[in-house]
Structure 1
Amino acid sequence: MEVGFLGLGIMGKAMSMNLLKNGFKVTVWNRTLSKCNELVEFGASIGETPAQVVKKCKLTIAMLSDPAAALSVVFDKDGVLEQTGSGKGYIDMSTVDPETSSKISQAITSKGGAFLEAPVSGSKQPAETGQLVILAAGDKGLYEESIPAFDVLGKKSFFLGQVGNGAKMKLVINMIMGSMMNAFSEGLVLSERSGLNPHDLLDVLDLGAIANPMFKGKGPSMLKSNHSPAFPLKHQQKDMRLALALGDENAVSMPVAAAANESFKKARSMGLGDLDFSAVHEILKMTKD
């Protein structure tokens, strides 16, 4: 199977590499084409525009930074829509709001193509090791056709029904994750300020009911102020904002998520947006009596 891949950021590059290493033919595109070069060394071909990629490939995957980028790649000149038609499948794995996903779906299907939204739960390391969780919704036939690729990219795939459900599930997950990161950061700072050894806190947490991979994986690096980006803070804040909008739409009170969003916004205003989302810890460390 030849697969097109649009967007070679932290996630897209790792996912494209996994497909190549598992025997897929892959044609890649990125707004900055030089980012394709490393993948070419592993056998990828380059498409100079999204339209070229779609023309060449029966199945095209996109992994883009935000709703604006997802819409641009589809609707702009030389975009996906120009070559979409019968027999073409388009899978958007970006994290976007349900409205964006629905708009893209309507455009693709109106030209005879098949559409699937499939945002993923997981960051850089799971993307590199093929351990993502894929949250798909839309065309069931395209989902079943894409299982061989999904089995390479992820450890589990879910089909969640109509377009919009995948986007909603991803926003709920990232809202919970962002809220947890804020509480975790507060706990680390509180333990240290009150005279405890924060490394002891990590050990105790890992043995209790709230043990989880995020605390275990991020905690030691956070204590060293090492926030090498696996999932950039600016993207986490974008997802918090979109989740809060989903809450507004459904009349759900979300005070914890709203407070967490304010912390991420403050961190972005301090120039921490390109660091890992764990860098929200830094603004708490700066807080003094």
Structure 2
Amino acid sequence: MITQQNKIGFVGIGVMGKSMAANLQSEGYSINVYTRTKAKAEELIQNGAAWKSTVKDLANDSDVIITMVGYPSDVEEVYFGSEGILENVKPNSYVIDMTTSKPKLAKKIYEEAAKKNIYSLDAPVSGGDVGAKNGTLAIMVGGDEAAFQEVLPLFDIMGENIVLQGEAGAGQYTKLANQIAIASNMVGVCETIVFAKKAGLNPKTVLKSISTGAAASFSLSNLAPRMLKEDYAPGFYVKHFIKDMSIALESAKELGLSTPGLELSLDLYKELAEKGEKDSGTQALIKLFEE
């Protein structure tokens, strides 16, 4: 089982990755970090994390490598090639991709890792910046039971709702199901707030009434209040939600499914991004409804 004697490599120190790495660090784990913009890792480095200037250097010096990057293309870049993780990590190490990415890519990483006696898990998360900071993320895992059990102590630090969903790729499929559910819900939350305002109601008291009933959701409880405050800082970027929804739509089509709610939400978020909001939080969708 992974212990504090093992070095943890963390690739990708963004809005969520930084807090996830910090939580591991606060529990006494030695952390190696790499990110394209070193300044993002400065706080972790000041608290004792070791900076690695390349993915290769990090892979050479880590027993477990966690990746939390932006897009499937970024995942491909950090895992494959002569400078990538799989060519440079030690045998019997663990690699955990926590990026929301393509199930097919998760399976590819698993298969290539197995050839080198490396254990691979796909483990995307949900819970946004708040969940990452508080260590309360939902973690959806795909891969082998034995590998899952070995790294479970790390997952327990970063999250609360941790479920092994099945074989490689199952974690990614589960996260896409999560994003499909959120997609239509975000449209509904925006419509709810605008409707309440147009009806002459106080949207704050409306939220107080409906947030604990049948309409309850993370978006209603956590993002709707941000909308009312006109706080559009990213807990989760619009551009990354567009990426997730695009992958989900692609996967749904591969499965022969029609997802009209997902398609509508994706179209609306693309329109929002075109208006200059790609780096805003997903709650900025309300702006389209208030025009």
Shorter-chain TM-score above 0.5: yes
Q: Distance in 2 between matches of 1:245 and 1:278?
A: 24
Q: Any conservation in 1 of the 2:237–2:280 contact (CA below 8 Å)?
A: yes
Shift of 1:112: 2.1
Q: Any conservation in 2 of the 1:10–1:230 contact (CA below 8 Å)?
A: yes
Counterpart of 2:21 in structure 1 is 16
Counterpart of 1:110 in structure 2 is 115
**Matching of residue 41 in structure 1 with residue 46 in structure 2:** yes
**Bigger shift: residues 103-112 or 173-182:** 103-112
Counterpart of 1:249 in structure 2 is 254
Equivalent in 113, 130, 133 of residue 128 of structure 1: 133
Give a deviation string over 1:85-120, Cα, whole Å, max 9, x none: 421211101000111212222222222211111111
> What does residue range 186-205 of structure 1 map to in structure 2 within 5 Å?
186-205=191-210
> What does residue range 74-113 of structure 1 map to in structure 2 within 5 Å?
74-113=79-118
**Matching of residue 268 in structure 1 with residue 273 in structure 2:** yes
For 1:193, the aligned partner's letter is K
Give a deviation string over 1:192-223, Cα, whole Å, max 9, x none: 12333222321221242122332122222201
Give a deviation string over 1:13-48, Cα, whole Å, max 9, x none: 000100110111111110122322210111111111
Q: Any conservation in 2 of the 1:229–1:275 contact (CA below 8 Å)?
A: yes
Q: Any conservation in 2 of the 1:51–1:79 contact (CA below 8 Å)?
A: yes
For 1:120, the aligned partner's letter is V
Matched pairs, number: 286
Q: Distance in 1 between matches of 2:208 and 2:157?
A: 33
Counterpart of 1:58 in structure 2 is 63
Equivalent in 164, 170, 179 of residue 184 of structure 2: 179
Give a deviation string over 1:211-247, Cα, whole Å, max 9, x none: 2332122222201221111011111111111111121
Q: Distance in 2 between matches of 1:214 and 1:186?
A: 13
Q: Distance in 1 between matches of 2:40 and 2:227?
A: 29
Counterpart of 1:237 in structure 2 is 242
Counterpart of 1:142 in structure 2 is 147
Counterpart of 1:219 in structure 2 is 224
Give a deviation string over 1:161-217, Cα, whole Å, max 9, x none: 211111000011011112101111011112212333222321221242122332122
Structure 2 runs not aligned, ≥5 long: 1-5
Report the TM-score, using the length of structure 1 for normalisation: 0.95
Taking a change above 3 Å as real, the CA distance of residues 211 and 22 of structure 1, as seen in their structure-2 partners, is: same
Q: Distance in 2 between matches of 1:95 and 1:237?
A: 11
**Bigger shift: residues 94-103 or 209-218:** 209-218
Give a deviation string over 1:45-70, Cα, whole Å, max 9, x none: 11111121111111111011110111
Shift of 1:121: 1.5
> What does residue range 68-79 of structure 1 map to in structure 2 within 5 Å?
68-79=73-84
Report the TM-score, using the length of structure 2 for normalisation: 0.94
> What is the DSSP-based 3-state SS (H/G/I as helix, E as strand, rest coil) of the residue aligned with 1:108?
helix
Shift of 1:252: 1.5
Give a deviation string over 1:122-179, Cα, whole Å, max 9, x none: 1111101110111111132221110111111111211112111110000110111121
Q: Any conservation in 2 of the 1:16–1:26 contact (CA below 8 Å)?
A: yes
Shift of 1:76: 4.1
Counterpart of 1:4 in structure 2 is 9
Instruction: Give % identity.
Output: 31
Taking a change above 3 Å as real, the CA distance of residues 37 and 72 of structure 1, as seen in their structure-2 partners, is: same
Q: Distance in 2 between matches of 1:140 and 1:48?
A: 33
Q: Distance in 1 between matches of 2:176 and 2:225?
A: 27
Q: Distance in 2 between matches of 1:195 and 1:76?
A: 59
Q: Any conservation in 1 of the 2:249–2:262 contact (CA below 8 Å)?
A: yes
Q: Distance in 2 between matches of 1:221 and 1:91?
A: 32
> What is the DSSP-based 3-state SS (H/G/I as helix, E as strand, rest coil) of the residue aligned with 1:185?
helix
Q: Any conservation in 2 of the 1:49–1:79 contact (CA below 8 Å)?
A: no
Q: Distance in 2 between matches of 1:130 and 1:234?
A: 24
